[in-house]
Amino acid sequence: MRLNIAVLPGDGIGPEIMKQALNITSAVCEKFGHTLTYKEAMVGACAIDATGDPYPAETHELCMRSDAVLFGAIGHPKFDNDPNAKVRPEQGLLRMRKQLGLYGNIRPVMTFPSLIHKSPLRADLVEGADFVCIRELTGGMYFGRPQGRSEDGDTAYDTCVYTREEIERVLHLAYKFAAQRRKKVTVVDKANVIATSRLWRQIAQEIAPQYPDIETDFLFVDNAAMRIIQWPRSFDVMVTENLFGDILTDEASVITGSLGLLPSASVGLHTSLFEPIHGSYPQATGKNIANPLAMILSAALMFEYGFNLMEEGALIREAVNASLQAGVVTEDIADGGKAYKTYEVGEWIEQFVKRWIG
C-alpha cells in the first residue's frame, strides 16, 4: 500500500516527537512492504511567525491532498499570556478541524500494567480500565456565533449551537465503535438544563433502536465526571458534545497516569488526523526530554483507522509496551530510574520494530 500523509509537527516539542513517530512509521512500512510518502507543513505559532496565519492555505491544500494527517502540537506562551492577541495558534487548530470536516475525535483510554502506580487513582480503581471517548469536534460553543465581548469589555458571550446532522453522524460513529468492542454506548449531556443537550438526548433515543444489540445509557456530564474517577471500568464507548468532551477526555487521562501516553484520532469528511492529546510543552523544547509515546501511538492509530492496517498498528503498540516494561522511558515516567532522552526512546522502539519477526 502507498501511504501518502501530511506531517504537521507544529510548535514546542512537536518537531522532536514527530521525528520519532516518523522514524517508526518508516520502519513499519519497510517491514510490511508499504511505500511511505510525506510532506511537512506549518501550523500554529510557527505558522503565525512565518506567515501571520496559524493555518496557511498551503497547509490546508496539503492536508486535502493527503490520505491522513499526522499532527504534533500547537501553542506558545507569548500567545497564552496575551488575552488581547488577535491571532492565536488555537484558531488554526479550530479552523483545520472545520475545513477538513474533522467531526469526531476518538480518544482511547487504557492502562499500561507497568505504569498503574503512576495514576493518582488507586490501582484497584484503574486496573483494567479500557474505554473510548468520542467527542463531537466541529459544533457547539467553540464554533457557535455570535461570540465575543461587549464594547466596554465587561460582558462576554459564547453561543452553543448544534444541528441534527452534526449530532447524528457522531452518534453513528460511537455505535460503530461499540459494535467492535463491548457493545455499550454512554451518551453524556446536560439535558436537564441545556437546550442543545435535550436535542442530543432526543436524537440518541431515536437512533438507539437502530442498534438493538448495543446497550445505551445516558449520564449528565457532572455525574459522568464523577463516574470516570470512581468507576472507570463501567465505560465502553462514551460520546458527547465538544466542550464536555474536551474536559472529560483530559480528566480521563489521569487513569493512564500521564498525558504523554495518550493518542487520539479525528475522523473527517475529507481526511483523518492523528495526534497526541498533550500540548506543546514549550518548557521542554529542544531539551530532548519530552515523552514521544503518545505521538508514536498516534501513528499506530493512523495505521489502524486511517489505512485499516491493523497488524501494523498492533506492532507499534507491542513495541511501546515492550519499551515500558524494559524501563526505556523519559523522565516524566522514569519513577526514579534511568531517564532516557526522547530520541533514545524512539530509537529503542524503532529497533524493536526492525527486529520483529511476524
Give the angle 240-241-245 at the CA atoms, nearest 5°.
70
CA atoms within 13 A on the CB side of 292: 35
Q: Is residue 246 annotated as part of the catalytic site, yes or no?
A: yes
| Amino acid symbol at 29 | C
Partner residues linked to 71 by β-bridges: 8
Q: Is residue 340 annotated as part of the catalytic site, yes or no?
A: no
| CA 26 to mean position of chain CA atoms | 22
Report the distance separating Cα 249 and Cα 90, nearest Å.
18
Report the distance separating Cα 88 and Cα 95, nearest Å.
11
Residue 33, classed as helix, strand or coil, is: coil
Q: Which of 103, 190, 236, 340 is catalytic?
A: 190
Q: Which of 78, 82, 222, 354 is catalytic?
A: 222
Percent helix, strand and coil across the chain, each to the nearest 5: 50, 20, 30
Q: Hey, what's the cell of 170?
A: 457522531
Are 160 and 144 in contact, with CB atoms under 8 Å apart?
yes
| H helix intervals, 72-220 | 77-80, 89-100, 123-126, 164-179, 195-207
Q: Is residue 250 annotated as part of the catalytic site, yes or no?
A: yes
Are 96 and 42 in contact, with CB atoms under 8 Å apart?
no
Q: Hey, what's the cell of 76?
A: 506558545
Q: Is residue 190 annotated as part of the catalytic site, yes or no?
A: yes
Main-chain dihedrals φ then ψ at residue 170, nearest 5 degrees:
-80, -30
Q: Is residue 103 annotated as part of the catalytic site, yes or no?
A: no
Burial class (CB in 10 A: 0-12, 13-18, 19+), 70: buried
Q: Catalytic residue numbers?
A: 142, 190, 222, 246, 250
